Amino acid sequence: MPETASLTLPDGRTIELPVIVGSENEHAIDISRLRGETGYITIDDGFMNTGSCKSEITFIDGEKGVLRYRGYPVEDLAKNCSFVETAQLLIWGELPTPEARRDFSDLLTENSALPEDFRRHFTAFPVHAHPMSIMSAMINALQSYDLPGLIIDDEEEFERVSGALMSKVRTIAAAAYKSSIGEPIMYPRYDLRYVENFLHMMFSKPYRDYVPSAEATAALNLFFLLHADHEQNCSTSTVRMVASGQANMYASVAAGVCALWGRLHGGANQAVMEMLSFIQSSGMSVKDYVAKVKDRAEGIRLMGFGHRVYRAFDPRAVLLKDACDKLLNAMHIDDPRLEIAKQLEEAALSDDYFVSRKLYPNVDFYSGIILTALGIPVEMFTVLFAIGRVPGWIAHWKEIYDVPSTKIYRPRQVYTGSVRREWLNRFQREKGYTDSRGFKVPEELRPTQAPQADAVPPTN
CA distances from 177 to 43, 123, 215 (A): 42, 12, 23
Catalytic status, residue 307:
yes
Angle between helices 249-260 and 131-146 (to 10 degrees): 180
Phi and psi at 330, nearest 5°, equal -80, -35
| Helical residues (DSSP H) of 350-380, grouped into ranges | 352-356, 363-373
Instruction: With CA atoms as reference, report the closest residue to 52 among 308, 399, 363, 314.
Output: 399
Residue 205, helix vs strand vs coil: strand
- The conformational region for residue 304 under phi > 0 = left, psi -120 to 50 = alpha, else beta, is left
Summary count for the chain: helices (H), strands (E): 19, 6
Phi and psi at 368, nearest 5°, equal -60, -40
Q: Give the whole-angstrom CA distance, residue 56 versus residue 70.
A: 7
CB 127 within 8 A of CB 180: yes
Element holding 280 (H helix, E strand)? helix 268-282
Q: What is the DSSP secondary structure assignment for residue 231, as one 8-state letter? A: S
Q: Which residue in the list 229, 307, 314, 396 is annotated as catalytic?
A: 307
Q: What is the DSSP secondary structure assignment for residue 455, as one 8-state letter? A: G
Q: What is the DSSP secondary structure assignment for residue 452, as one 8-state letter? A: G
Report how far Cα 259 is from the mean position of its chain's Cα atoms.
Answer: 6
Length of the chain: 460
The DSSP result for 419-450, as a single string, is -------HHHHHTT---TTS----GGGS-SS-
- The conformational region for residue 12 under phi > 0 = left, psi -120 to 50 = alpha, else beta, is left
CA distances from 187 to 137, 142, 201 (A): 20, 17, 7
CA distances from 38 to 7, 42, 52 (A): 11, 11, 21
Residue 14, helix vs strand vs coil: strand
According to DSSP, the β-strands at 58-61 and 72-73 are unpaired
Q: Which residues on neighbouring strands pair with residue 60, listed in sequence order? A: 67
Q: Which residue in the list 364, 402, 435, 454 is annotated as catalytic?
A: 364
Report how far Cα 351 is from the mean position of its chain's Cα atoms.
Answer: 31
Which sequence positions are flagged as catalytic?
A: 307, 364
